[in-house]
């Protein structure tokens, strides 16, 4: 009875279309889940996500689970994760990624979320990339590393062009305890790939102090 009253005043709504969810649905209704634009890049070598890093930094493999379009389902879901205080959405999508892109995670030694600056963590309360990593780890059983740190606070990149994004993230990251990763395969995890400048800076920061490491990249969304 109390559960029904709570749902009356605080209904559980689909993050995609806004319709009420039934008891078996979580965050997305079955219709919106069916309409999710999967890339299937995890099984394609030399896919467009990998090509984002060609000639810039050495990346072993790279993929994004979903296409990210403005005003689309994926944008709505990820905005809920980042800006609407819904950290559990990150775990939900991470679990989905582990099931949908399972083979891609084979052979990874560490999941390394792209970090937020301490100031941003205090503002938001959590790191959305870490939440995604937690979801993946819960299924794939891969350790999460928090040794990658953001040492420079940068403003939002939403309205910056490609060069401005690159400048904004240059020298923003550092890797602690680099000896741990000697000969290991690290998977960098972020929410959305746009220009790739943030992830590129992360790769450079890791290789600067530990060149004997393999690095791959996973993001939830890919903004073409």
Pairing label, strands 148-150, 173-175: antiparallel
pLDDT of res. 6: 42
**Residue count (the chain):** 224
In CATH, what class is 39-222?
A: alpha beta
pLDDT of res. 11: 84
pLDDT tens column, 56-98: 999 999 999 999 999 999 999 999 999 999 999 999 999 999 9
Rounded to whole angstroms, how far apart are CA atoms 40 and 108?
Answer: 19
pLDDT of res. 116: 96
pLDDT of res. 127: 98
pLDDT tens column, 95-149: 999 999 999 999 999 999 999 999 999 999 999 999 999 999 999 999 999 999 9
pLDDT of res. 162: 59
C-beta separation of 81 from 131 below 8 A: yes
12 vs 164 pLDDT, higher one: 12
Q: DSSP labels for 176-206?
A: S-GGGGTT-EEEEEEEEESS-HHHHHHHHHH
Token duo for residue 37: 């634009």
User: What is the number of alpha carbons within 13 Å of residue 55 lying toward its C-beta?
Assistant: 2
Confidence of residue 3 (pLDDT cuts 50, 70, 90): very low
pLDDT tens column, 165-183: 555 566 799 999 999 999 9
pLDDT of res. 199: 97
Residue 14 three-state SS: coil
Rounded to whole angstroms, how far apart are CA atoms 204 and 127?
Answer: 21
Residue 84 three-state SS: coil
Which residues have a Cβ under 8 Å from the Cβ of 11 and sit 6 or more positions away? 20
C-beta separation of 216 from 190 below 8 A: no
163 vs 16 pLDDT, higher one: 16
Residue ranges per domain, the chain?
A: 1-35, 39-222
């Amino acid at each position: 009875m109390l559960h029904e009253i709570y749902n009356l005043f605080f209904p559980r709504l689909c993050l995609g279309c806004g319709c009420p969810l039934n008891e078996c649905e979580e965050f997305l209704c079955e219709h919106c889940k069916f309409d999710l634009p999967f890339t299937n890049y995890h099984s394609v070598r030399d896919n467009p996500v990998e090509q984002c890093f060609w000639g810039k930094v050495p990346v072993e493999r790279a993929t994004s689970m979903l296409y990210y379009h403005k005003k689309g389902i994926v944008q709505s879901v990820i905005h809920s994760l980042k800006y609407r205080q819904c950290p559990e959405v990150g775990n939900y999508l991470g679990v989905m990624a582990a099931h949908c892109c399972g083979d891609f995670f084979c052979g990874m030694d560490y999941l390394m979320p792209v970090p937020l600056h301490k100031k941003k963590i205090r503002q938001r309360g959590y790191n959305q990339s870490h939440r995604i990593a937690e979801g993946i780890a819960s299924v794939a059983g891969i350790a999460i590393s928090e040794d990658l740190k953001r040492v420079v606070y940068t403003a939002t990149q939403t309205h910056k062009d490609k060069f401005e994004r690159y400048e904004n993230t240059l020298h923003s990251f550092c890797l602690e305890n680099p000896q741990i990763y000697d000969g290991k395969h690290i998977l960098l995890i972020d929410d959305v790939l746009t220009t790739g400048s943030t992830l590129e800076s992360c790769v450079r920061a890791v290789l600067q102090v530990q060149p004997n490491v393999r690095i791959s990249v996973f993001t939830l969304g890919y903004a073409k």
